[in-house]
Structure 1
Amino acid sequence: MAIEQLFEALPLHYVQHALTKYGAANLGLTLLVTLVVGILADYAWMLYIRSKMPPGPLPWPIVGNTFQLPDVKPWIYFEELSKKFNAPIITFWIGRNPTVWINDAWTASDLLEKRAGIYSSRPRMLVFAELGSGQNNLVNMITTTQAQRERWRVMRKVTHQGVGIQQVRKYRDFQNDESKIVAYDLLKTPEYYVEHFERYATSVVSIVGFGRRVSDAKDPIITEVIAFMHRAASLNVPGKTFPMLMETFPFLAKFPTEIAPWKGGLGRRGKSYRGHDFFYSLAEEAANNPGHEDCYSKFVFREAPKYNLNPQEISSLSGNLFGAGSDTSSSTLVTAVLAMRAFPDTLIPAWEELDRVVGSDRSPTFDDDENLPYMRALVKEVFRWRSVAIIGGQPHAPTQDDYYNGWLIPKQTWVQGNVWAIHHNEREFPDPDRFNPYRHMKDHPDWRPFPGEKGYMTFGWGRRVCSGQALAEQGTWLTVARLVWGFKISPALDAQGIPIPVDIFNYTDGLNMRPRPFKVDIKPRSEAIRQAMVHEGEQALADLAQYEGETKYRMSTFYKK
């Protein structure tokens, strides 16, 4: 029995009888003894379950291992625990709830891919899900019952209509044009490369979802939505401070949000929840726009009666496009620039290959992919070297008790893939912090076996793999190939002309991590290439003119009266 349920189970007449018979002092002692016995019984249960589960640090009563968490980047700590216990998976207790962290690629494949039928559900996520979009969002949906599984399949089917593997091939033309504009903008203001990447990534998903491109890097739809996504991503990182501390003490979530500052504004419903009504309104606005019949919002509203979609589901479906493609894609491109600056020798084979296959009169296209094996390997290494979704997205949960190597993984346990540890395992990736595209070329001595064909696990696993994977991979390959083809990334110089160093470990701390600001010098590789980028950029602007437009909504003012 949970500690918070202990006193609820005491009948009122028992308390009244004890108060009459023994007096207040004795009653207090009785209650204290009852509390201590309850805590000890609960702790005995924790230790019993712990003895059957994968190894891990000894939990304390009630709080588990919560306060052993580091202040930042817990995935590195879990990697160290895995090495300490010499186990591919470890158990770490968040309060009274055991969580299992997978720190090995082959184990992740065994559990989350090969046993996807068991591990396709979600655990209870109080902070990220229950106090947020709940079960209306495909990302959060628990699938332990037949009804839940059927609803999840409906939501996944509708999502794939927007960003599925086959569907995203239809987006290549405008994705290619938006990528050309990135190169064009870098010629003019290279110092704002982060803003250019954010504009590109947001514009692509905005065209997909709402039929409207984002032409200005200062457009609030970029700055506000990406800030919103950063906030959402932070709510999935285990922590010992509020609001994540509510996962350890869930009874604190029962307090009204208005009088509970530790909730950080979470838990407001309806119009007060930042996300639902805003994204629904964006989608509704696009659906009522007479142009661009193929945009995803029109499809969703057209199919809503068929699938009985409610407004919260429509909001989540449209909002997830930004989550799947804006912040993550732009962060990946920033990482690519950092890798190019820190490991310039890796660009020499890429330049030789691009000059041979593509030349200087045009930039790479999707059709060049099969003839650019090193370039393909370089992009794979970008995904591997510093994965954005560093813990593989939301946790999985088995729908039944499961055993792996003799260890128990109880039903509905929080199971998380530690992408950092997986991508930094010396067995598959010797000297893992070195950026080395040859790791992904099977005919090279640096190649090592890895589950699957991709060579990375950046986008998650099984039936819960990131819905935007195909769109992100497609756009990242093209844009990184165009960056490498078009530019030299050199050290920026300080006022004394001394090169400014970069730190390959200086990343943000959220679930979707990106490099903290760093300076580089970005210049075209040749005059012929510069002229080609100018010509292609101007043509791309003309091609994309059909998507110009503006929304009347701003997230920052949407809920203000």
Structure 2
Amino acid sequence: MAIEQLFEALPLHYVQHGISKFGVGNLVLALVITAVLGLIADYAWMLHLRSKMPPGPLPLPIIGNTYQLPDNKPWIYFEELSKKYNTPLITFWIGRLVIPYLPSNELLDKRAGIYSSRPKMLVFAELGAGQNNLVNMYTTTQAERDRWRVQRKLTHQGVGIQQVKKYRDFQNDESKVVAYDMLTTPEEYVAHFERYATSVVSIIGFGRRVADHKDPIITDVIAVMHLAADLNVPGKTFPMLMETFPILAKVPTDYAPWKKGLGRKRGGRGHDFFYSLAAEANENEGHEDCYSKMLFNEQPKYNLRPEEISSLSGNLFGAGSDTSSSTLITAVLAMRAFPKTLIPAWEELDRVVGPDRSPSFEDDANLPYMRAFVKEVFRWRSVAIIGGQPHAPTQDDYYNDWLIPKQTWVQGNVWAIHHSEKEFPDPDRFNPNRFLKDDPDSRPFPGERGYMTFGWGRRICSGQALAEQGTWLTVARLVWGFKIQAALDESGEPIPVDIFNYTNGLNWRPQPFKVSITPRSERIKQAIVREGEEALANLAPYEGETKYRMSTFYKQKK
């Protein structure tokens, strides 16, 4: 709108008595001076707050330090800043959003009661599920805490520590199917891992397994989880740039290509993919203990909205599909890049398990090296590389005399924690001996498990127990059953792998790499076939298909 048109839109008495006396030029000058003074005042506030907070690079007005963000893997940059300022906590400004980054667990674990809330996450949360999802919920008021506890309780009823022990039979069978599939199409190991992980959570949530690695629900769900992971990593490109300039989020989505479709309304009551999957499972006969049926049974008691049922059921995929499959891919990369670590594992498995059956959950206590091996998988390249979603203190807090204001976006840095030279010398070397109590490479670590892979405090990942038991079993079965060696190129030369070549999202995984996967012996191969066929028979009651496809669901609903 031209300046003349703006004046025409003003009430007549303003035009007559204001502009005529003051003059257009003077009015424009006054507006400019006011804007400049406002900018100076705002920047003075930023610098004042910066003087009280942990050290970090000098922010610029309005944009803060956004321009300094690297294009890829900012957690490595934040680790370097921590070393530069010689501090366990650094401050970084995304626009006017101030973010302390922690290369330690000092606050989020040891002060869990204070750091139990979430900050306002515009891109990841407010333009999506918002406060309907446990992952995003604030806990600053009693009402918010009460609602969060309801969803947390219902989540524990699905994937709590005691509950997941009931899933071990079909989780074990699905793991056996992975080994079985590796015999025929080992080059598709990524697809087999994704099918396995998605199938386990699908059985839990909806009473239906995913039998084919080409099932559309796998690619659809994994793609959504990758998008969600990308949307929670600070960036200087859209849509994450809206965190720097939040006013851009107020533009209607249909007229804002920079929003990448975020914030678009999905329709009316129950008009959502995961809600529809849950409702479909609730209507199906059998599998009365599936999570979706439990949610509908509890709906009247807790006054659950359809959006909450959608989030609770959908979170199973978020907690168990992409993350678990990515961890298994990392395990294969570690086996390929550090083959000597397999030798003591094979010796232990051959002694305890033998060639005629694969490892079981009951073998865990007798396989200390395998337990250490899996711990190192979690430590070496943790999937949730910045510890999941950011936390926010429910009150002003002080650490080393530094102020951390209430509702500040506080982000962990698992990469820095797991790459501490003090606890993990030569951190990029995959070394299971770190977790063997009497080994010279063993170091004390501030955490019972020896890794911080699943987050901290009251916001720790709900699916941790499910992921840990499934990862241990499947990695142990892969090591027991197969030789993981270099793939050969056309000239017969080994194809190298790059242990740093990972994706850029919050939940990262290795970029595609080639590897040779072959059975360790004929007797082991026969055991894999026998167990695989038995597992498929055991899983037959979970066979079935859904009528919904995420890729077409919303198009059909328009």
Aligned to 2:475: 480
SS of structure 2 residue aligned to 1:100: strand
Residue 271 of structure 1, CA deviation = 2.7
Q: Residues 228-284 of structure 1, C-alpha deviation per residue, up to 9 Å, x if partnerless?
A: 1111111100000110000010011000000000100000123399x9700000000
Contact preservation (8 Å) 1:276, 1:315: no
Aligned to 2:61: 61
* Aligned positions of 1:125-524 closer than 5 A: 125-271=121-267, 277-524=272-519
Rounded Cα–Cα distance in structure 2 between residues aligned with 1:51 and 1:276: 48
Match 1:544 to one of 506, 520, 539:
539
Aligned to 2:85: 85
Rounded Cα–Cα distance in structure 1 between residues aligned with 2:420 and 2:396: 28
C-alpha RMSD of the superposition? 1.5
The one-letter code sitting in structure 2 at the alignment partner of 1:100 is: P
SS of structure 2 residue aligned to 1:557: helix
Aligned to 2:31: 31
SS of structure 1 residue aligned to 2:555: coil
The one-letter code sitting in structure 2 at the alignment partner of 1:239 is: G
Against the structure 1 CA distance between its residues 276 and 321, is the aligned structure 2 distance closer, same or farther, given a 3 Å change threshold?
A: farther
Residue 433 of structure 1, CA deviation = 0.4
Q: Residues 155-195 of structure 1, C-alpha deviation per residue, up to 9 Å, x if partnerless?
A: 00000000000000000000000000000000111000000
Contact preservation (8 Å) 2:266, 2:554: no
The one-letter code sitting in structure 2 at the alignment partner of 1:264 is: K
Rounded Cα–Cα distance in structure 2 between residues aligned with 1:35 and 1:299: 56
Residue-pair matches, total:
546
**TM-score normalized with structure 1 length:** 0.96
**TM-score normalized with structure 2 length:** 0.96
Residue 15 of structure 1, CA deviation = 7.5
SS of structure 1 residue aligned to 2:550: coil
Against the structure 1 CA distance between its residues 500 and 13, is the aligned structure 2 distance closer, same or farther, given a 3 Å change threshold?
A: farther
Against the structure 1 CA distance between its residues 18 and 370, is the aligned structure 2 distance closer, same or farther, given a 3 Å change threshold?
A: farther
The one-letter code sitting in structure 2 at the alignment partner of 1:278 is: F
Match 2:524 to one of 518, 525, 529:
529
Aligned to 2:107: 111
SS of structure 2 residue aligned to 1:559: helix
Sequence identity (%): 79
Q: Residues 116-147 of structure 1, C-alpha deviation per residue, up to 9 Å, x if partnerless?
A: 11000000000011000000000000110000
The one-letter code sitting in structure 2 at the alignment partner of 1:252 is: L
The one-letter code sitting in structure 1 at the alignment partner of 2:190 is: V
Rounded Cα–Cα distance in structure 1 between residues aligned with 2:13 and 2:228: 46
Matched, 1:75 2:75: yes
SS of structure 1 residue aligned to 2:272: helix
Aligned to 1:4: none
Residue 20 of structure 1, CA deviation = 3.2
Rounded Cα–Cα distance in structure 1 between residues aligned with 2:117 and 2:14: 42
The one-letter code sitting in structure 2 at the alignment partner of 1:525 is: R
Aligned to 1:45: 45
Where do 5+ consecutive residues of structure 2 fail to align?
Answer: 1-9
Rounded Cα–Cα distance in structure 2 between residues aligned with 1:294 and 1:204: 14
Rounded Cα–Cα distance in structure 2 between residues aligned with 1:473 and 1:19: 71
Return 447-456 or 37-46, whichever deviates more. Answer: 447-456
Q: Residues 86-117 of structure 1, C-alpha deviation per residue, up to 9 Å, x if partnerless?
A: 0011000011121010012xxx1x31122111
Return 445-454 or 476-485, whichever deviates more. Answer: 445-454
Rounded Cα–Cα distance in structure 2 between residues aligned with 1:418 and 1:115: 16
Rounded Cα–Cα distance in structure 2 between residues aligned with 1:140 and 1:285: 26
Q: Residues 338-368 of structure 1, C-alpha deviation per residue, up to 9 Å, x if partnerless?
A: 0000000001111111111111110000000
Contact preservation (8 Å) 1:133, 1:276: no
Aligned to 1:3: none
SS of structure 2 residue aligned to 1:556: helix
Contact preservation (8 Å) 2:159, 2:466: yes
Aligned to 1:20: 20
Contact preservation (8 Å) 1:486, 1:525: yes
Rounded Cα–Cα distance in structure 2 between residues aligned with 1:146 and 1:391: 28
Contact preservation (8 Å) 2:336, 2:515: yes
Against the structure 1 CA distance between its residues 509 and 272, is the aligned structure 2 distance closer, same or farther, given a 3 Å change threshold?
A: farther
Contact preservation (8 Å) 1:426, 1:432: yes
The one-letter code sitting in structure 1 at the alignment partner of 2:187 is: E
Rounded Cα–Cα distance in structure 1 between residues aligned with 2:12 and 2:188: 70
Rounded Cα–Cα distance in structure 2 between residues aligned with 1:358 and 1:15: 89
Residue 13 of structure 1, CA deviation = 11
SS of structure 1 residue aligned to 2:358: coil
Rounded Cα–Cα distance in structure 2 between residues aligned with 1:263 and 1:532: 52
Q: Residues 308-365 of structure 1, C-alpha deviation per residue, up to 9 Å, x if partnerless?
A: 1000000000100000000000000000000000000001111111111111110000
Against the structure 1 CA distance between its residues 450 and 20, is the aligned structure 2 distance closer, same or farther, given a 3 Å change threshold?
A: farther
The one-letter code sitting in structure 2 at the alignment partner of 1:289 is: N
SS of structure 2 residue aligned to 1:281: helix
Rounded Cα–Cα distance in structure 1 between residues aligned with 2:86 and 2:159: 40
The one-letter code sitting in structure 2 at the alignment partner of 1:243 is: P
Residue 12 of structure 1, CA deviation = 8.8
Against the structure 1 CA distance between its residues 231 and 93, is the aligned structure 2 distance closer, same or farther, given a 3 Å change threshold?
A: same
Rounded Cα–Cα distance in structure 2 between residues aligned with 1:169 and 1:323: 20
SS of structure 2 residue aligned to 1:411: coil
Against the structure 1 CA distance between its residues 13 and 161, is the aligned structure 2 distance closer, same or farther, given a 3 Å change threshold?
A: farther
Return 12-21 or 169-178, whichever deviates more. Answer: 12-21
SS of structure 2 residue aligned to 1:414: coil
Contact preservation (8 Å) 1:272, 1:559: no
Rounded Cα–Cα distance in structure 1 between residues aligned with 2:327 and 2:73: 18
Return 189-198 or 18-27, whichever deviates more. Answer: 18-27
Rounded Cα–Cα distance in structure 2 between residues aligned with 1:191 and 1:451: 39
